Amino acid sequence: MSRIQTVFDQLKQQGRKALIPFITAGDPNPQLTVPLMHALVEGGADLIELGVPFSDPMADGPTIQRASERALAHKVRLRDVLEMVAEFRKSDTNTPVVLMGYGNPIEAMGWDKFSERCAEVGVDGVLTVDFPPEESSEAFSQLTKHQLDPIFLLAPTSAQERVEAVVKAARGFIYYVSLRGVTGAANLDLVDVAGKVAAIRGQTSLPVGVGFGVRDAATAKAVAAIADAVVVGSRTVQEIENSGEQNAVANVKKLIAELRAAIDS
Amino acid sequence: MQKYDFPDAQGHFGQFGGIYMAETLIPAVDELRRQYLHFRDDPDFKAEFAHELKHYVGRPSPIYHAKRLSEHLGGAQIYLKREDLNHTGAHKINNAIGQALLAKRMGKKRVIAETGAGMHGVATATVAARFGMECVVYMGAEDVQRQAPNVFRMKLLGATVVPVESGSRTLKDACNEAIRDWVTNCDNTFYIFGTAAGPHPYPMMVRDFQCVIGNEAKVQMPDMIGRQPDVVIACVGGGSNAIGMFYPYISEESVQLIGVEAGGHGIASGQHAAPLTANAKIGVLHGNKVYLMQDEDGQIIETHSISAGLDYPGVGPEHCLLKDIHRAQYVAINDDEAIGGFDALCRFEGIIPALESSHALAHAMKIAPTMGKEQAILVNLSGRGDKDMNTVARIKGITL
């Protein structure tokens, strides 16, 4: 059984919801990424989304754009991100890691080589924002060949038949984008999200995570009430940005602990 | 040659093209594709498009025999397809009108656009004013500097110009920002994309709207010289003016097609915007799979060209295919050579060309002397050079 499924099964038995923070690999510098990943787990993360920096992050708002720029200023490459996961796995063999980013760095490495290396270092799932299922046949076959979960997005604009098509291709969990916009955008509409999540659940037994727009403990708690997982991206990255390199690890751990407490309360 | 019929229903030109977009925008491009396929064959739509091109743009654009320049070069006769004489001064208006008419039928009251040199931004601001739509244009902060007159024109036309400070602060970053706007406002906003690239249906739709260039030329050339030209040349950034000229000629196998990319400081310098000429690897950016300037890790690299309109790391998917099947040839002209083409047209013919079009012209000047005097080269003079006065003055060390 995959690590992702194991974690969601355990949470379900415990009647708890998953907390999935996102950080960009290499932000604020490459040395801090693995300590930050451990801090996320210590704070109470169930699964980590690790962003692969890209020069043209079209689906991201200013906060995650800046994280990508900071990482690229340190010349962090996809192969370095994979090494970071290998380092993380030396002391954490349980927490699932999902790589999230854009397709081109993977295309440049080749899906076969990338998938093989992901399996070796202990990556569990891959989400490429700009590769919808229609364009993912090679990605899908290489990822699944190496027991990696291809994770796909659904959005407020996705109609019923689109939901059906996407859930068929997805593994691990469904990432529901809570609003029309880029990461870190305006406040989400919880009633609307609840309706959409229910509609997705009607089509799949996969867990449904909700992200884009979870800004604080209150929204995290509210989202946890209607979804299986809460994804916290821009807010986590913002904490790193505001903390400076000295305090980033401690502050991020504290933030995640607060969100964890809110979700479990 | 086998029957040429691209793209397929999913927008693929061979291995190129496709729909590489975030999920939120997939329904938007899907709806756009359905609406375009419906209206493209609608008699009212076709009639209104033709009427606008004739009465608002001023089509057909003439073909002009550049006699003095041809005599000076001592070889093939050079003919110019005068897209510079269109309303707003470039070929961009053909596509902007087509997409605005579609936006109107889709009930979209707000249009957005990206722009490099500013010609597509001006064309979009123009049609937005013409049809009473709100208009926001994204433009790299560096391009806002080097194309100041066009920024002023857009503002006069009522558009909001947003300088984009991220990344390399040029055309690709303007595209990123326009996509971010679209993902946020897709319900009420139509993205008037400026070149024959991006997610399906844009490469096909922009090509179709720009094909008026080649379709006219195919009638005009036999009228002028009794036959089609031997060579057709156009500059290629994203490649919309080139595909508009080339596409109707693809089936005319005797006509050689040459796309001219921006060689910048030279291909060997690495500072250029010529993915096809420099044999860039295939990659994915802005919704499509194309030849793309990138580093070993798949990060998009910064490009360089004297002309903002060609300063883009990718190229439309159909040009990638035409290169692979050897139906068109792609070459690069560097900054200095483009200035040579610019100067020559000013002095020999009294026509000030856009720096983009000067690349096509410079290549024509390179090959004309190697050809016979009875041979004919047709150059797509895609735009006029008024917008480039500041750039050219700076290069020549002149303060205006």
Interface test with B, best of A64, A104, A196 (most B CBs within 10 A): A104
Active site residues of A: 49, 60
- Domains of chain B and CATH, by start: 12-53+92-206 (3.40.50.1100), 59-89+211-395 (3.40.50.1100)
Helix B92-105, helix B26-39: angle, nearest 10: 100
Q: Does A225 touch chain B (CB under 8 A)?
A: no
Distance from CA of A96 to the nearest CA of B (A): 24
Check the CA dihedral A225-A230-A233-A237 and report its sign: positive
Domain A3-264 top-level CATH class: alpha beta
Nearest one of A168, A166, A188 to A179, comparing CA atoms:
A188
Integer Rg of chain A from CA: 17
**What whole-number distance in Å separates Cα of residue A16 and Cα of residue A13?**
8
Contact (CB<8Å) A56/B300: yes
**What whole-number distance in Å separates Cα of residue B211 and Cα of residue A255?**
56
Instruction: Please report the pLDDT score of residue B148 as a whole number.
Output: 87
Do the Cβ atoms of B278 and B293 come closer than 8 Å?
Answer: yes
From chain A, pick out residues whose CB is under 8 angstroms from the CB of B20: 103, 130-132, 135
Active site residues of B: 92, 114, 382
Q: Does A131 touch chain B (CB under 8 A)?
A: yes
Instruction: Please report the pLDDT score of residue A82 as a whole number.
Output: 98
Question: According to the 3-state scheme, what is the secondary structure of chain A?
Answer: CCHHHHHHHHHHHHCCCEEEEEEECCCCCHHHHHHHHHHHHHHCCCCEEEECCCCCCCCCCHHHHHHHHHHHHCCCCHHHHHHHHHHHHCCCCCCCEEEEECHHHHHHHCHHHHHHHHHHHCCCEEEECCCCHHHCHHHHHHHHHCCCEECCEECCCCCHHHHHHHHHHCCCCEEEECCCCCCCCCCCCHHHHHHHHHHHHCCCCCCEEEECCCCCHHHHHHHHCCCCEEEECHHHHHHHHHHHHHHHHHHHHHHHHHHHHHHHC
Q: Does A104 touch chain B (CB under 8 A)?
A: yes
In chain A, where the domains are located = 3-264
- Element (DSSP H or E) covering residue B19: strand B16-20
Do the Cβ atoms of A75 and A55 come closer than 8 Å?
Answer: no
B2 pLDDT more than 90: no
Size of chain A, expressed as the number of residues it contains: 265
Interface test with A, best of B12, B19, B20 (most A CBs within 10 A): B20
Distance from CA of B140 to the nearest CA of A (A): 13
A1 pLDDT more than 80: no
> What is the percent of chain B where pLDDT is above 70?
100
Q: Does A58 touch chain B (CB under 8 A)?
A: yes
**What whole-number distance in Å separates Cα of residue A68 and Cα of residue A64?**
6
A142 pLDDT more than 80: yes
Q: Exposed, middle or buried by CB within 10 Å (0-12, 13-18, 19+), for A20?
A: buried
More confident residue, B353 or A184: B353
Instruction: Please report the pLDDT score of residue B245 as a whole number.
Output: 98
Instruction: Please report the pLDDT score of residue B81 as a whole number.
Output: 99
More confident residue, A1 or A240: A240
Reported as a single tens digit per residue, the pLDDT across B170-229 is 899 999 999 999 999 999 999 999 999 999 999 999 999 999 999 999 999 999 999 999
Contact (CB<8Å) A58/B176: yes
Reported as a single tens digit per residue, the pLDDT across A66-86 is 999 999 999 999 999 999 999
Residue in A79, A109, A153 closest to B22 by CB: A153
From chain A, pick out residues whose CB is under 8 angstroms from the CB of B24: 59, 153, 155-157, 177, 180-181
Average pLDDT over residues B114-120: 92
Give the ipTM of the model, two decimals please: 0.95
B1 pLDDT more than 60: no
Q: What angle do CA A234, A244, A86 make, to 5 degrees?
A: 70
Residue type, B254: S
Average pLDDT over residues B230-241: 98
Average pLDDT over residues A79-105: 98
Buried b (16+ CB within 10 A) or exposed e, B42-66: eeebeebbeebbeebbebbbebbeb
Q: Does A153 touch chain B (CB under 8 A)?
A: yes
**What whole-number distance in Å separates Cα of residue A148 and Cα of residue A123?**
7
Reported as a single tens digit per residue, the pLDDT across B143-170 is 998 788 899 999 999 999 999 998 888 8
